[in-house]
A and B are shown apart, each in its own frame.
Chain A
Amino acid sequence: MRVIIMGCGRVGSAVAGRVAASDHEVTVLDTDPYSFRRLPSGFPGQSLIGDGTRHRHLEEAGIRDAHAFLALTQGDNRNILASQIAKHIYRIPTVVTRVYDPYRAEIFGRLGLVTFSPTNVGADMAWAALLGDAGVGQAARG
């Protein structure tokens, strides 16, 4: 299976490492070559300087025979644009989009993207941890 990851930040590089470790082909796209330093040592996948919102760069990354596309840059709108190109122009079966803004994550989730919001995930975890505190937890549960 071929997986394309746009954005080689902390999350992108970590996911790339996991995909490669499970014996799938992975290509990481980032506009900044310096970001590739985050990839695990001995990373067997491909790293490519490029912009995932550009058709030509996606094609160089092998989007035409990819099974999954993950948009994990810092920019919500860039991720949404690239994901919709992958889904609607190249018909990639699995498209995952990081969207910090919970509202946009929900709207584009309804429009058929698999979105997740680190803001919601973080808030949920912080809240769950807080509920573990005897005083706060009891008060919250009434």
Chain B
Amino acid sequence: MYIIVVGGGRVGRGLALELQGQPDHEVVLIERGAERAAELRTELGEMVVRGDGTEVALLDGVGASRCDLLIALTDNDAHNLVACQVATHHFHVPRTIARVDDPENERLFRLLGVGETISAARAVMAQIEATLPEHTLVPLLPLHGSGLQLVELHVQPGSPASGGAIRDLALPQPSLISLVIGPGGEPRIPGGDTVLQADDEVIAVTPEDAEPQLRALFATPAGEPEEEA
């Protein structure tokens, strides 16, 4: 696969390093800053090209029209969006991935056909949420183009989900509970008869806009604290 990475910051460098070792991939890393590009060239060699990865002439020069995947990882949303759009619409690159800094821009990027977006802010928030003792819902992975996402749900004591069979649960449609992990760590593939217990972890595919409904199903209802702190 021929992969173009735009932006040689820490993320771009790390990715290029990772991909460099894989014989199936040909990688070009584009970095705009002269000093940073020289530094990267010393470390990574000829794969590093200095220039503006949103410019047609430069992308043409690195053979963007035979590129399979362009990944835009600069710290600037405008550059990342334009790099992906130029790749898609001028060079017909089949797949693009963009880093998005401002969560507000995620919707626009998807609307404009950027294949996948990576949001540092969202990843950090999800990770923090997962470490909170009473987290109910952690988004794991958006399944792009489908409006669905993979989520982890924690069945809270006293929640509508605890003690009932999966088939009786009013899950937002379309949803699929794929895996249930008990408090002891034992995983089981659920069926409609499976009864969820307090403190089960549930991995499910759910609509992206259904987080409030899911929280209502899996959280302890307000005013009924599970126990005194």
Contact = CB atoms under 8 A, between A and B. Distances in A.
Q: Answer yes or no: are A and B bound together in one complex.
A: yes
Interface of A: 53-55, 75-78, 80-81, 84-85, 88-89, 101, 103-104, 107-108, 110-111
Contact of A111 (B85, B105, B108): B85
**Dominant secondary structure of chain B at its interface with chain A:** helix
In the complex, the 5 A-B pairs of residues with the closest C-beta atoms, listed nearest first: A103-B56, A81-B78, A77-B78, A77-B82, A78-B78
A133 B47 CA distance: 48
Contacts of B77: 53, 81
Contacts of B105: 81, 85
**Dominant secondary structure of chain A at its interface with chain B:** helix
A53 B78 contact: yes
B108 A85 contact: yes
Contact of A107 (B79, B81, B89, B108): B89
A110 B78 contact: no
Interface string B92-115: 000000000010110110011000
A77 B54 CA distance: 8
Contact of A89 (B56, B57, B82, B108): B108
B96 to A, nearest CB: 14
Interface in B128-182: none
Interface of B: 54-57, 76-79, 81-82, 85-86, 89-90, 102, 104-105, 107-108, 111-112
Nearest to A108: B85
A77 B89 contact: no
A110 B57 CA distance: 18
A2 to B, nearest CB: 22
A107 B86 contact: yes
A55 B54 contact: no
Nearest to B113: A111
Contacts of A81: 77-78, 81-82, 105
Contacts of A107: 56, 85-86, 89-90
A104 to B, nearest CB: 7
